Every structure is written in structure tokens, then in C-alpha cells.
């Protein structure tokens, strides 16, 4: 049997990425907590809260590869969290090298300090990863938007033909939403990335008058912000990042839904990139399935329940919660993995998106000009009044559909229409690009507002 070296389970790379699974692996979770412990020892030693020579001995053992993860997992089931057996193993490792230093492991901290701050360190790396893929997706969407301002297609409402739009208008809508998410991620960072350090009940009583000094030094060591107070029982930060992940997944799901509909055989206007082994069927050789869209839609379907769990977990008891905090531990990493996977899938898809403008034009013509009915109604409305014009064109549409004639021909033969619209007028009214309204200006506004560099680089 072949050995697997990937962090991801068998279905992991369908719904996640190797990088995201690595960031939220068991070893990464443990290393985040150990990074907290190492920084705490350095900060306290620098302030003279613990002996200066204790810190190097502690820091030297804050390496996940030195720990027995199976033993930690078994012990965590009885202890109620991972930090308690982690601190015990760390103390034992330090004691083998320096008995005196071992006395100062985890000095003045509580389990939640290590677990929350360790998770924040993982989330910081995750946000960097997300920033990169959001920027890649933004770049791909911007290129599509810039290239297709004059590519007409059917605009659809209620799943039916509505009016002509441009493909650039569709991609600009996706791009505009992605750019809002990029700004949201940038705005979230200073609120989210703050150290958790409060000791047993959020008072830092064990450190006496040096508590705030240690907290500030710890924050500097970890390059995290220092909040006004510990936030053990206030989970809005974690809920906010979860909600943002849910918003991004919703946007990616909308894009995936649009793309899968455009890929339908009967529509055939846009396609995921073709590649060997991609999108095939186990039995039907002709199939070209929207596999990336399927994975993104699956992630978007799972997200609301996970976000709801994080929101429910906000209701915690007194100074330290029972159960709600614990519910976050697997929920938030799962959301992160799902978002990372969906974002990566969509960035890759949009970078290689295949379009069929000829089919787009054919679909515009599929209803024999009915899609341009509103344009004629508006043109006639100034002379006949809106309601009268609407009724005239509606009757013409019914006649065109009944006789299977082009709406333009039906209208050209209509006596009332001939009094107000010339043949040249009708020709112009039945050109889709003459009736896309402010699409071009909307597209230009979205492209003009786009952050070319990452939000953190502004």
C-alpha cells in the first residue's frame, strides 16, 4: 500500500488545498500553542518576571516535532482541552534539560490563552494565503472584464431571457463583490489579530502588578495587537472571521452557480478550463462536467451551518465558556479549509475560463428578437405613451411567437409602428449592444475602484 504524505484526506483537495490543510494540521495547531509558550517565556524573562536563563530552556523545547501527538490526543479527551497535556509534556521536556526552568513553563497563563493565541497565529498565516488567492481571482476577473466590454450576451432574470448585457457586466459584478471581500479582510486584521492573555479568570492576578507589562511584551513578541482586555468569553472576533468566510463562500457559490448554468449543453456560453481527466464521466465519454463549480457549490452549501455554529458559540457563560468555546475548535478550521479550497478552485477556473461569443450571440437571437421588445417599447413610448406602447409590442411579440417570425419583421409591418419608427430605427433597436444601458460605465467604475495591489500594500 502506498504511503500518503499529504496533510489532506482523500477528498481534501476537492474541497480544500494542501496549504490550508497544512496550516490547520494537528502539528500546526500544536506549534501555534507552543509559539505562544515560547513568546511568553521570552517576554517574562525580559521583564524579570521569570529568571532570564529559564527562557532559552523553555523556548528550545517549544517545537512540535518533540511531542507525542497520540499521547496528547488521548490526554486531551480526559483533560477537556489540548493545552493541559501540552503544558505537561512541555514541562517534562524542559525538566530533562533544566529542572529550574521547568518551574516557569506557562507562568501566569491559562489554557485558553495558549489555545486562542495559537489559533490566531494560524489564522494570520491563513489570511495571508487568502489574500494571495483573492488577489489572483481579482486579477483574472479584471482581465475578463477588460476584454469583454463589447461581448453581448443574454441577461437572465428568473432563469429566463430578460435583456442584453455584456459578459463584462457579469464578470464586473463578480469582481466588485471580490473587491469588497478584499477590503473586509484588510479591515478585519487589526480587530482579529490581538493576543489573548488573561490568566485564569481574565485578571492576570497570578502576575501581580506586572500583568499588563507581560501582556504588552507578549503581544510584541508575537507581532499581535494588544487589546483593551482579555476576551475569553467575548467571541465576536472569531464569529466575525467566520461570518466573513461565509460571505466569501456565498460569493464564490454565486459565481459557481452562474458558471454551471452557462456550461449547460443548451446554453454553452462559458466553460471551465479543459484538461486531461477533468470533468469527464465514468460512463458517458461526451460529458464535460463543471467539476470546479460543483466543489465550490458544495462548500457554499456547507458554510451556513458552520457559520451558524460559530454564532451560536458566542453565547458563553460568565468569564470562561463551557462548550461554546470548544465548539469553535474544529468548526473554524473547517470553514477556513472550505473557503481556501473554493477560492483556489475559482481563481484557477477564472484564469483559464473558456468563452464562446458566437454561442452567446446565437442565444441572443434564439427568440427571434423578443429580447429586444423593451427597447422598442421605450422608443415608441414617447409618442404613444408607455402603456399603449407596451400593449402594442406585447401583441406583436405574441404574433411573432405564433407565426415564428422575427419580431422586427412583425413590427415593420405594423402601421402604427411605421408612423414613428423607420426601418433604420428598427435595425438600430434590434442591435443588442445598443441596449445595454450603463453597462460600460458600471464596468469602468468597478475597474477604476479596484485595488491592484493587495489591501495590505495600500
Give the H or E element holding residue 281: none
Question: Can you give the CATH number for the domain in which 136 is found?
Answer: 1.20.200.10
303 neighbors 250 (Cβ within 8 angstroms): yes
Claim to verify: residue 240 and residue 375 sit in the same structural domain = no
CATH number at residue 404: 1.10.40.30
Kindly write down the DSSP assignment for every residue of 294-338, as one continuous string. Answer: HHHHHHHHHHHHHHHHHHHTT---TTS-SSHHHHHHHHHHHHHHH
Across the chain, mean pLDDT equals 92
Residue written as grid cell 479549509: 337
Domain final position from 41, 74, 102: 102
| 134 and 94 in a common domain | no
CA dist., res. 443 & res. 458, Å (int): 22
Q: Is residue 4 part of a domain?
A: no
Give the pLDDT score at 458.
43
Write down the pLDDT at residue 65: 96
Can you spell out the DSSP letters for 121-142? HHHHHHHHHHHHHHHHHHHHHH
* Cell representation of residue 291: 467539476
306 in the same domain as 163: yes
Give the model's confidence band at 238: pLDDT under 50 very low, under 70 low, under 90 confident, else very high: very high
Q: What percentage of residues in the chain have a pLDDT greater than 70? A: 94
For residues 458 and 409, which has the higher predicted lDDT (pLDDT)? 409
320 is catalytic: yes
Residue 3 confidence (pLDDT) above 90 = no
The whole-angstrom separation of Cα 39 and Cα 62 is 10
Q: What is the pLDDT of residue 280?
A: 52
The domain tally of the chain equals 3
Cβ contacts of residue 174 below 8 Å, gap of 6+?
A: 141, 251, 254, 255, 258
Active-site option among 320, 359, 405, 428: 320
Q: Please check whether residue 296 lies inside any domain of the structure.
A: yes
Could you give the CA distance from residue 290 to residue 432 in angstroms, rounded to a whole number?
Answer: 28
For residue 201, is it within any domain?
no
State which of 58, 83, 102 marks the end of a domain.
102
pLDDT-based confidence at residue 284 (cuts at 50, 70, 90): very low
Give domain status of residue 309, yes or no. yes
Give the pLDDT mean for 167-188. Answer: 97
Which tens digits make up the pLDDT trace of 57-98? 999 999 999 999 999 999 999 999 999 999 999 999 999 999
Whichever domain contains 78, its CATH number is 1.10.275.10
Q: Each residue of 300-335: pLDDT tens digit?
A: 999 999 999 999 999 999 999 999 999 999 999 999
The pLDDT of residue 17: 82
Give the 3-state secondary structure percentages of the chain, helix then strand then coil, rounded to 5: 65, 5, 30
Task: Show Cβ contacts of residue 170 under 8 Å, excluding neighbours closer than 6 positions.
Answer: 153, 258
pLDDT tens-digit readout, 100-125 = 999 999 999 999 999 999 999 999 99
Check pLDDT > 80 for residue 2: no
* φ/ψ of residue 119, rounded to 5: -65, -40
Q: Of residues 281, 312, 403, 422, which has the active-site annotation?
A: 281
Residue 49 confidence (pLDDT) above 60: yes
Same structural domain, 357 and 402: no
* 312: annotated active-site residue: no
Query: Taking the CA atoms of the chain, what radius of gyration do you get in angstroms?
Result: 30
CA distance linking residue 228 with residue 329, whole number of Å: 24
Q: Residues 298-312, buried b or exposed e (16+ Cβ, 10 A)?
A: bbbebbeebbebbbe
**218 occurs within a structural domain:** no
Domain end point (choices 363, 380, 413) = 363
Percent of the chain with pLDDT over 90: 88
DSSP notation for 219-237: HHHHT-B--SS--TT--HH
Are residues 379 and 327 both part of a single domain? no
**Model's pTM, two decimal places?**
0.91
Residue 211 covered by a domain: no
Residues 64 and 147 both lie in one domain: no
What is the predicted pLDDT for the residue at 39?
Answer: 98
pLDDT band at 372 (very low <50, low <70, confident <90, very high): very high
Q: Which residues of 408-428 are buried (b: 16+ CB within 10 A; e: fewer)?
A: bebbeebeebeeebeeeebee
Please give the residue range of the domain that contains residue 95.
Answer: 12-102
Residues 290 and 423 in one domain: no
Q: Return the ∠ at Cα 365 (arms to 359 and 370), rounded to 5°.
A: 145
**Same domain, residue pair 97 and 125:** no
Q: How far apart are CA 123 and CA 86, in angstroms?
A: 20
53 belongs to a structural domain:
yes
The verdict on 262 and 352 lying in the same domain is yes
| Cα 295 to Cα 280: distance, rounded to the nearest angstrom | 15
Yes or no: say if 439 and 393 are a contact pair by the CB < 8 Å rule: no
Does residue 45 sit in the same domain as residue 180? Answer: no
> Could you tell me if residue 83 is inside a domain?
yes
Kindly tell me if the per-residue pLDDT of 455 is higher than 50: no
Among residues 347, 329, 351, 342, the alpha carbon closest in space to that of 17 is found at 342
Amino acid at each position: 500500500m502506498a504511503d500518503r504524505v499529504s496533510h489532506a484526506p482523500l477528498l481534501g483537495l476537492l474541497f480544500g488545498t494542501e496549504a490550508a490543510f497544512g496550516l490547520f494540521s494537528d502539528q500546526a495547531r500544536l506549534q501555534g500553542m507552543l509559539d505562544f509558550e515560547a513568546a511568553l517565556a521570552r517576554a517574562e524573562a525580559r521583564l524579570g518576571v521569570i529568571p532570564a536563563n529559564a527562557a532559552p530552556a523553555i523556548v528550545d523545547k517549544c517545537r512540535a516535532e518533540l511531542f507525542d501527538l497520540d499521547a496528547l490526543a488521548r490526554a486531551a479527551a480526559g483533560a477537556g482541552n489540548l493545552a493541559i497535556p501540552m503544558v505537561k509534556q512541555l514541562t517534562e521536556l524542559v525538566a530533562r534539560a533544566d529542572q529550574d526552568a521547568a518551574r516557569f513553563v506557562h507562568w501566569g497563563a491559562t489554557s485558553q490563552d495558549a489555545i486562542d493565541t495559537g489559533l490566531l497565529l494560524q489564522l494570520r498565516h491563513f489570511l495571508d494565503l487568502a489574500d494571495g488567492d483573492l488577489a489572483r481571482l481579482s486579477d483574472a476577473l479584471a482581465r475578463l472584464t477588460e476584454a469583454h466590454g463589447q461581448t453581448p450576451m443574454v441577461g437572465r432574470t428568473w432563469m429566463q431571457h430578460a435583456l442584453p448585457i455584456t459578459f463584462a457586466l457579469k464578470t464586473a459584478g463578480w469582481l466588485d463583490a471580490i473587491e469588497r471581500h478584499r477590503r473586509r479582510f484588510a479591515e478585519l486584521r487589526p480587530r482579529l489579530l490581538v493576543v489573548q492573555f488573561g490568566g485564569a479568570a481574565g485578571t492576570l492576578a497570578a502576575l501581580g502588578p506586572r500583568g499588563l507589562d507581560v501582556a504588552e511584551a507578549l503581544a510584541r513578541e508575537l507581532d499581535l495587537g494588544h487589546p483593551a482586555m482579555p476576551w475569553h468569553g467575548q467571541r465576536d472576533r472569531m464569529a466575525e472571521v467566520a461570518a466573513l468566510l461565509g460571505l466569501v463562500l456565498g460569493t464564490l457559490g454565486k459565481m459557481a452557480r452562474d458558471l454551471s448554468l452557462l456550461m449547460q449543453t443548451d446554453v454553452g456560453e462559458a466553460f471551465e478550463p479543459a484538461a486531461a481527466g477533468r470533468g469527464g464521466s465514468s460512463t458517458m465519454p461526451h460529458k464535460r462536467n463543471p467539476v470546479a463549480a460543483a466543489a465550490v457549490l458544495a462548500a457554499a452549501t456547507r458554510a451556513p451551518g458552520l457559520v451558524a455554529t460559530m454564532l451560536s458559540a458566542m453565547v458563553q457563560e460568565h468569564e470562561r465558556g463551557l462548550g461554546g468555546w470548544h465548539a469553535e475548535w474544529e468548526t473554524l478550521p473547517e470553514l477556513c479549509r472550505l473557503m481556501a479550497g473554493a477560492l483556489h478552485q475559482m481563481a484557477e477556473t477564472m484564469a483559464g475560463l473558456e468563452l464562446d461569443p458566437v454561442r452567446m450571440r446565437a442565444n441572443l437571437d434564439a427568440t427571434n428578437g423578443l429580447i429586444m421588445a423593451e427597447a422598442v417599447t421605450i422608443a415608441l413610448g414617447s409618442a404613444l405613451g408607455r402603456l399603449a406602447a407596451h400593449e402594442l409590442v406585447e401583441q406583436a411579440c405574441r404574433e411573432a411567437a405564433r407565426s415564428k417570425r422575427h419580431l422586427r419583421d412583425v413590427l415593420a409591418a405594423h402601421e402604427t409602428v411605421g408612423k414613428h419608427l423607420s426601418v433604420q430605427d428598427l435595425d438600430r433597436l434590434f442591435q443588442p449592444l445598443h441596449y445595454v444601458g450603463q453597462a460600460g460605465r458600471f464596468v469602468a467604475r468597478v475597474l477604476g475602484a479596484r485595488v491592484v495591489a493587495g489591501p495590505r500594500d495600500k
